[in-house]
Chain A
Amino acid sequence: MSQSDAHSSGQQHPLGVYFKVWALLFVLSIFSYMVDYYHIEGYLRWSLIILFMLLKAGFILTVFMHVAWERMALIYALGIPMLAIFGFIALMTFEGDYTFFTREMYFSP
């Protein structure tokens, strides 16, 4: 591929998209900070924290890192291996529970 081809395929988008996402990231950060500030507890807290976290991560990935405009070959190459992380989370949850259980069984006074 020639040099000019590489330039024409560069990620060039109108600045307005970036400013909107930028503002949105600020708002979402304020929201997730407010969850802690107003001491929201229980399942509502966890679901709100995770919701704002995933929204922020999603906007950074899709717009700032231009994933939304990439070809599917790259998106699949990045996305599919990351699914392994969920399996790891499940395994280590069991492992952590087991550690806690055995500590309570044998090491509690």
Chain B
Amino acid sequence: MTSSTTTENMTGLQSAAADWASDQRTFKNVPWGKAMMWIFLLSDTFIFACFLIGYMALRIGATEPWPASSEIFALSMGGQPVPLLLIAIMTFILITSSGTMVMAVNFGYRKDRKKTALLLLITALLGASFVGMQAFEWTKLIVEEGVRPWSNPFGAAQFGSTFFMITGFHGVHVSVGVLFLLIVGRKVWRGEYDNQTRGFFTSRKGNYEIVETMGLYWHFVDLVWVFIFAFFYLW
């Protein structure tokens, strides 16, 4: 164990090289579930990067004018169109849900079962309301504005395909996140991470690290929205 205690004290590139060359587990102090979640998120980053880069290439290559997103996504308030109002509300909801998630992780490590479960439930509800607003946005766009994946009345036809692809894929991520938040929240509420109950699916004993791993996924969904908000709605 002497070698591992010396690598604990290293910093920077030296510690990275020591961990990778240690002939032991590479990601020290990181439970395997969390390491796997990070690797999944890395691959997911590439998927979303491919979508956004594809959108960029299509938009550069479009000869027709690109639809003005701030006008299309405007919501009228008292007869006056407010640009991007719904998108701004959705952004704030997602940030709020990230805040409740990080608090759930915190209370989880304090083994505060009830507060953790409650915060996970609030996070799931905020996520569900985000998906609901997105459904409203899609309905408005398809039914009222006549936007289709192959054409739209505002300009370049590529707008519809990239919009539905990118926000749809993100919406699926949020929906799956809500589902797993409810599952993890139920497990926390029933005290399954305190009693080391075996899971119904993996039949493994769980602990509160799972809340942190769940949190990584949820923050990633928020992170992707930051990029979609900037590149798709504000650009």
B99 and A92 contacting across the interface, CB-CB below 8 Å: no
Bound form: Cα–Cα A15–B105 in Å: 11
Interface class of chain A by DSSP: helix
B63 and A100 contacting across the interface, CB-CB below 8 Å: yes
Task: Give the residue among B29, B98, B208, B223 with the most A Cβ atoms within 10 A.
Answer: B29
Q: A96 near B: Cβ within 8 Å?
A: yes
Knowing A32-B229, A72-B12 touch, does A18 contact B103 (C-beta < 8 A)? yes
Task: Give the residue among A46, A64, A78, A85 with the most B Cβ atoms within 10 A.
Answer: A64
Bound form: Cα–Cα A92–B53 in Å: 7
Bound form: Cα–Cα A4–B204 in Å: 17
* Chain B neighbourhood of A15, CB < 8 A: 103, 106
A25 and B95 contacting across the interface, CB-CB below 8 Å: yes
A33 and B88 contacting across the interface, CB-CB below 8 Å: yes
Q: B27 near A: Cβ within 8 Å?
A: yes
Of all chain B residues, the one with the shortest Cβ separation from A93 is B60
Knowing A18-B103, A78-B42, A93-B56 touch, does A88 contact B49 (C-beta < 8 A)? yes
Q: Which of B15-23, B141-149, B183-191 contacts A (4 or more CB under 8 A)?
A: B15-23
Knowing A22-B99, A29-B95, A71-B19 touch, does A99 contact B57 (C-beta < 8 A)? yes
Bound form: Cα–Cα A49–B227 in Å: 10
Give, as a whole number of angstroms, the nearest-CB distance from B80 to chain A.
Answer: 13
Bound form: Cα–Cα A96–B21 in Å: 42
B207 and A6 contacting across the interface, CB-CB below 8 Å: yes
Of all chain A residues, the one with the shortest Cβ separation from B95 is A25
Q: B169 near A: Cβ within 8 Å?
A: no
A26 and B60 contacting across the interface, CB-CB below 8 Å: no
Knowing A35-B234, A57-B226, A103-B63 touch, does A96 contact B57 (C-beta < 8 A)? yes
Knowing A36-B84, A74-B38 touch, does A53 contact B61 (C-beta < 8 A)? no
B229 and A10 contacting across the interface, CB-CB below 8 Å: no
Bound form: Cα–Cα A33–B226 in Å: 12
A60 and B15 contacting across the interface, CB-CB below 8 Å: no
Q: Can you show 18 pairs from A to B with CB atoms below 8 A apart?
A: A3-B207, A7-B109, A10-B208, A12-B106, A25-B95, A25-B98, A29-B88, A29-B92, A33-B88, A36-B84, A64-B219, A74-B30, A76-B13, A77-B27, A82-B42, A95-B61, A96-B56, A97-B60
The 7 closest A-B pairs by CB, nearest first: A96-B60, A99-B61, A73-B19, A53-B230, A72-B16, A96-B57, A9-B29
Interface residues of A (CB under 8 A from B): 3, 6-7, 9-13, 15, 18-19, 22, 25-26, 29, 32-33, 35-37, 46, 49-50, 52-53, 56-57, 60-61, 64-66, 70-78, 81-82, 85, 88-89, 92-93, 95-97, 99-100, 103-104, 107-108
